[in-house]
Amino acid sequence: MSNGKVERKGRIVPINIEELPVRSKPKYNTPKEREKYIKTVETIIRRSLEYKTYIKFLKDHLDMKRCLILKNIKVSNGKRYHIEIHHEPFTLFDIVETVINKRLAYEKSIGSLEVAKEVMELHYDGNVGLIPLTTTMHELVHSGRIFIPLQFIYQKYNNFFNMYEQHLNPNTLEKIEAKVNLSLETDSILSDSLDVEFTYLDVDGFKFPTVPDDWKDVLGKTS
């Protein structure tokens, strides 16, 4: 016994490890397999606690509960509107693909968790452009029916471009260039799907019923 403590006998067993375990690397030999892998990483990100926490923070503290296009639609108590967060001008697919390209260039792991971690760091650093939209507006933006000028995006998405420019897919670069040029020409959201348009049918030999004049007054009083 020494200083009130009981000393226990022990021995050291030497262990020689000839080869450390190596984590398997993702393999894709075709563009289709590559696309599938990128979408797999996308899914991991969207389902992660970190991503869900980040989106909740945006809605609770950065006023992202209101649709950027239909500004009267806002998530609040008693309202069942659903606001989705849209990535702009780079989609989440663009971001994941670019991060993979960079990691490959620097001979870093492109394991799904490593890539997802780097993508989430970009989100938390505010280097990813995000916009709140209703489900319908989100679908219209993705289908190209609505264009949102870059000046409507408040995050530092240009930081992502500066850091990853040389690793961007040429098609993505072309898309971003087109968005920049169009944004320089307009300061309002462009759309061909938000204007009201009425369609009237002119059927041969058929007369549509008309509302009598005296009924128009009644209808006008109750409207």
The encoded tokens of residue 167 equal: 């690793």
Q: How many residues does the chain have?
A: 223
User: Rounded CA gap, 90 and 145, in Å?
Assistant: 17
The predicted model gives 152-158 an average pLDDT of 91
In the prediction, which pLDDT does 216 show? Answer: 43
DSSP string, 93-156: HHHHHHHHHHHHHTT----HHHHHHHHHHHHHTT-S-EEEEEHHHHHHHHTTSEE--GGG--S-
Place 223 in a pLDDT band, splitting at 50, 70 and 90. Answer: very low
* Rg of the chain on CA atoms, in Å: 28
Query: Would you call 2 helix, strand, or coil by DSSP?
Result: strand
Q: Which of 61-65, 159-163, 187-191 has the highest mean pLDDT?
A: 159-163
User: Rounded CA gap, 94 and 38, in Å?
Assistant: 9
Q: Where are the alpha helices (DSSP H) in the chain?
A: 31-47, 49-61, 92-105, 112-124, 135-142, 157-164, 170-185, 213-222
User: Rounded CA gap, 119 and 139, in Å?
Assistant: 23
> pLDDT by residue (tens digit) across 6-54?
666 767 777 776 665 555 567 678 999 999 999 999 999 999 999 999 9
In the prediction, which pLDDT does 176 show? Answer: 95
> pLDDT by residue (tens digit) across 168-221?
999 999 999 999 999 999 988 888 765 545 455 565 655 555 545 554 454 444
In the prediction, which pLDDT does 218 show? Answer: 43
Lowest-confidence pick of 1-5, 128-132, 139-143: 1-5
CA angle 177, 157, 35 (to 5 degrees): 70
> pLDDT by residue (tens digit) across 73-132?
887 655 667 899 999 999 999 999 999 999 999 999 999 999 999 999 999 999 999 999
In the prediction, which pLDDT does 221 show? Answer: 43
